[in-house]
Amino acid sequence: MTSCKLGKCLLLGLVLTLPGCLRLDSFLFYPTRVEGEYFNPADLDTSWHMRWVIPDSLREEVRLFPATGETIFGFFARALPDTAPTPTVIYSHGNAGNINGYWNRVELLWEAGCNVFIYDYAGFGRSTGTPTGATCYADADAALKWCLARTDIDTSRIGYLGSSLGSFMACHLAADVRQPKQLLLEAPMASVSAVAKEGAVLDIPGGFLVDADFDNETRIKTIQGTQVLIIFGRKDETAVPERTALVLVREAESAGVDIDTIDLANADHLNLPDQMGFDNYRRVVREFFDGRRTRQRSLP
């Protein structure tokens, strides 16, 4: 999994920024470009632990054309034929790297029996343009539109999964575009303000730093009727739970949102499936996107 650099990048932004030039959206994103094709061995890191379990015949490269005019690349991994209705998960990844570094997560979701659609934001991988909050939201919108246009999936069973910075895109889709039955957030951020606090250890309003409308605290309160699950690690130093995941839980509960958590005592920002155990992670994901209740609990 590509490492997340939110705290470091925002601190650097504060150091470098001069008065009168306080818009730091660019410091939120650390994309890696792909020249040529995805999954080129030269672009892969063995620490990502891809197992290549998804047959090429079930992996479709997709080009999206959001309202920004850019070309956005993604992949659709089709689940193996199954007698049960198959959920489709739109996966919004973190702030660094590109699809290559998140493919191991796609494999786990696919092994859980889900169709999975992952996409790169503008400026990531082979996608054109420059990432900003607005372009990332437009890219997420295009991903959902593409899935809804499919005639070979059950569009009533499209759910969203946002990891780290991708939690903003997942919550945007849920609150602003099309409310899903299920929303899964892994190591989520609460808001740009919370990110700023973690990166710079300063209580500065997020709007003072970035133009991006990244505010899960507000959006999560508006999705009554959606089943929400947050998975987070107590040793997460990038998205410290007391300022991120637990803030979202409190805001959701205050608004009557149906929310559960899985609290991993020894997990950090990047190793949630590892700490859960892959078999357990696959089971929880499939049960959740099938609409079965995930009890609030702590795991070692």
What pLDDT score does 105 carry? Answer: 97
Is pLDDT larger for residue 298 or for residue 236? 236
Phi, psi of 140 (to 5 degrees): -65, -40
Percent of the chain with pLDDT over 90: 77
- Confidence class for position 296, pLDDT limits 50, 70, 90: low
Compute the mean pLDDT over every residue in the chain, rounded to the nearest whole number.
Answer: 88
pLDDT in tens, 137-193: 999 999 999 999 999 999 999 999 999 999 999 999 999 999 999 999 999 999 987
Is pLDDT larger for residue 233 or for residue 25? 233
Is pLDDT larger for residue 109 or for residue 27? 109
Q: Are 88 and 153 in contact (CB under 8 A)?
A: yes
pLDDT in tens, 25-36: 667 899 999 999
What pLDDT score does 203 carry? Answer: 47
Q: Residue 11 above 90 pLDDT?
A: no
- Give the architecture (CATH level 2) of 6-299: 3-Layer(aba) Sandwich (3.40)
- Confidence class for position 198, pLDDT limits 50, 70, 90: low
- Confidence class for position 209, pLDDT limits 50, 70, 90: low
Q: 11-44 burial by CB neighbour count: b if 16+ within 10 A, else e? A: bebbeeeeeeeeebbebbbbbbebeeebeeeebe
Would you list the domain boundaries of the chain? Answer: 6-299
pTM: 0.90
Pick the closest to residue 74 from 64, 83, 84, 88 (CA basis): 64
- Confidence class for position 84, pLDDT limits 50, 70, 90: confident
